[in-house]
Amino acid sequence: MIINCKKIANEIISETKPKVDELHKNGIVPCIAIVMAGNDYASKIYIHNKSKACQKAGIRTREIIFRENISEYELMKSIEKLNNDKSVTGILVQLPLPKHMDEKKVCEIISPAKDVDVFNPINFGNFIIGNTDLTPCTAYGIMKVLKYEQIKISEKHCVVVGRSNIVGKPISHLLLKSDATVTVCHSKTHNLENFCKNADVIVSATGVPKLIKKNMVKNGAVVIDVGINRDENGKLCGDVDFENVEPLCSYITPVPKGIGLVTVAALVHNAMKTACFNLFKNK
């Protein structure tokens, strides 16, 4: 079964909108500042999609696009101003940033109360110990997909391919919380095939086109493809060799129109949450 991620994304937004409407009734208008440096075409598309999704839920967006050669100091100074702007309830920095900037340093300056991506180390630490309502967007979206399709995770063997702070580590943590046995693989893992072919669930987030082949997936496995890449012909594809792997799977996510859609919907959910944080903070 090919999972309909668009339908799930719309459901996340539909669940979020009544809570945003309630904020409006209390005089709070959620507003997300989306900060970008440079003219990357793909980044502009992502910003457009994020703004469109936010607007569906009644959340305003403010797109702030700087020139490519803006200094790291100037960019961070502008983020500090947004931190102190009471009309802004959430901030995200569109990645990648220009090469002369330290992405980690820039993202960490975002106020924890406005950090919709959960990049600030305070928020990420609180997420790990279960002390916050904010969840990294892609991990949140993946768990919503599994729940929507009623895919049992408890007691299952899940293999996560990738160990980034954005996807690999957060989703591994949530799968563990759901009582799965989790194996994390990465670029230095030997015999990746042996780990994957024994998995009930595979989550791949490596950015390597068609890394997960037919011989690496057992019959009936669930495959969640987080990767968005270009193949040798310039066509969009994921980490999974979809055409050959799909017949083996009980469930699989497509690329495009897959996990990327639920990740954006999760951002909308987090934008509602940070608006609530700021409501209580300013009272």
Answer yes or no: is 239 within a domain. Answer: yes
pLDDT (tens place) for every residue of the chain, 283 residues total: 999 999 999 999 999 999 999 999 988 999 999 999 998 888 888 899 999 999 999 999 999 999 999 999 999 999 999 999 999 999 999 999 999 999 999 999 999 999 999 999 999 999 999 998 899 999 999 999 999 999 999 999 999 999 999 999 999 999 999 999 999 999 999 999 999 999 999 999 999 999 999 999 999 999 999 998 888 888 889 999 999 999 999 999 999 999 999 999 999 999 999 999 866 665 5
Other C-beta atoms lying within 10 Å of the C-beta of residue 233: 6
Contact, 44 vs 34, CB < 8 A? no
Question: Per DSSP, which regions of the chain are E strands?
Answer: 31-37, 60-66, 90-93, 157-161, 181-185, 201-204, 222-225, 229-230, 236-237, 251-252
Three-class SS state of 15? helix
What's the total number of domains in the chain?
A: 2
Q: Look up 200 and say whether it is catalytic.
A: no
Q: Is 150 a catalytic residue?
A: no
Specify whether 195 is located in the same domain as 102: no
Give pTM, 2 decimals: 0.94
Q: Both 236 and 157 in a single domain?
A: yes
18 is a domain residue: no
3-state class (DSSP) for residue 141: helix
- Is residue 19 a part of any domain in this protein? no
Co-location of 143 and 254 in the same domain: yes
Query: Is residue 84 assigned to a domain?
Result: yes
Write the DSSP symbol of residue 178.
Answer: T
CATH number at residue 187: 3.40.50.720
Structural domain of residue 202, as residue ranges? 137-260
Closest CA to 227 of 243, 246, 212, 248: 212
Distance between CA atoms of 160 and 224, rounded to whole angstroms? Answer: 9
Please tell me which residue in 117, 200, 225, 239 is annotated as part of the active site. Answer: 117
- DSSP-assigned beta bridge partners for residue 229: 237
Catalytic entry in 94, 115, 210, 273: 94
Ramachandran bin of 155, using left for φ above 0, alpha for ψ from -120 to 50, beta for the remaining angles: left
The catalytic residue among 50, 114, 144, 273 is 50
Closest to 164 measured CA to CA, from 186, 146, 189: 186
Closest CA to 89 of 192, 19, 8, 14: 19
Domain co-membership, 158 together with 251: yes
Assign residue 107 the CATH number of its domain.
Answer: 3.40.50.10860
108 and 142 housed in the same domain? no
Considering just the CA atoms, what is the radius of gyration of the chain in Å? 19
Residue located via tokens 């929507």: 148
**Residue that the structure tokens 């500090």 belong to:** 80
| Degrees to nearest 5, angle at CA 238 with 53 and 7 | 35
Is 73 in the same domain as 181?
no
Q: Is 55 a catalytic residue?
A: no
Residue 282, H or E segment: helix 259-282
